[in-house]
Amino acid sequence: MKETDLLIFDLDGTLVSSGADIAASVNATLRRLGLPEKPVEEILRFVGDGVRLLIERTLGGLDGGRFDEALEIFGAHYREHMLDTTVPYPGIEAVLRHFSGKRKVILTNKRHSFARPIAEALGLTAHFDEVIGADSTPFTKPDPRLLDLVTRRFGVSPARTAVIGDGVNDVLLARNGGSFSCAYLNGLTPRVSLLALRPDCTYEAPPELMTLIR
């Protein structure tokens, strides 16, 4: 088991199953723009690098004005519908209670204005010291300066920090910053993409975390 002082959790696809609501808002945006909808699986491949890249990858080469319009449409729709079906993954509450004595942070490339309300509504914020969104700091995952900023803020060593997430950026953040990576294989990112990166550990269901880190 890996000894840790700080646990950094991703949000979408790690703590919460949120893919359906994200995809629904993307397709609502496409409809408003008069564009054809896309399959959910295709949209979810674009998640993980923040809303601007999500929209850019989904919509392709829109001109600047239409791109800004798409961002506004998505943001307004998602704000109203981001909790339609989003729920914590089974076992997450037990995991967070198990690690109640640990410093814990939610670190996401999602905007703070989306991430914080989701975490609050689902009763997650009580388990965490902080929720850090893409617009909370000058850096986003997988920039190692983000990990340095967070570990310094909490006065812990990167070597005694675990980054837990379902995304490529989570594994790369840990690797780039000298921390322990723990990849969730049943989140939003195809498992083959995660396994190709050879994370320090993997898990199939959240309760397994209690046997992997302490």
Reported as a single tens digit per residue, the pLDDT across 132-176 is 999 889 999 999 999 999 999 999 999 999 999 999 999 999 999
| Cα angle for residues 67, 68, 70 (degrees, 5° grid) | 65
Q: Tell which residue, 211, 2, 16, 47, has the closest CA to residue 128.
A: 16
Reduced to 3 states (helix: H, G, I; strand: E, B; else coil), residue 16 is: strand
Tokens of 189: 């990112």
Q: How many residues appear in the chain?
A: 214
Question: Which runs of E-coded beta strand occur in the chain?
Answer: 6-9, 16-17, 87-88, 103-107, 130-132, 161-165, 180-184, 201-203
Per-residue pLDDT tens digits for 65-119: 788 899 999 999 999 999 999 999 999 999 999 999 999 999 999 999 999 999 9
pLDDT value of residue 49: 84
DSSP, res 167: S
Task: Name residue, tokens 């921390």.
Answer: 179
10 has catalytic annotation: yes
Facing residues of 8 across strands?
Answer: 105, 163
Superfamily designation of domain 19-81: Putative phosphatase; domain 2 (1.10.150.240)
| Full 3-state SS string of 42-75 | HHHCCCCCCHHHHHHHHHCCCCHHHHHHHHHHHH
Task: Name residue, tokens 């609050």.
Answer: 120
Active-site residue among 10, 12, 21, 49?
Answer: 10
Superfamily designation of domain 6-17+86-212: HAD superfamily/HAD-like (3.40.50.1000)
Beta strands 180-184 and 201-203, pairing class: parallel
What is the pTM (predicted TM-score) of this model? Answer: 0.94
Beta strands 87-88 and 16-17, pairing class: antiparallel
Domain boundaries, the chain: 6-17+86-212, 19-81
User: What mean pLDDT is predicted for residues 187-199?
Assistant: 95
CA atoms within 13 A on the CB side of 113: 7
Banded pLDDT at 60 (limits 50, 70, 90): confident
Q: What is the dihedral of CA 21, 27, 32, 36, to 10 degrees?
A: -170
Tokens of 132: 């850090």
Tokens of 163: 């980054």
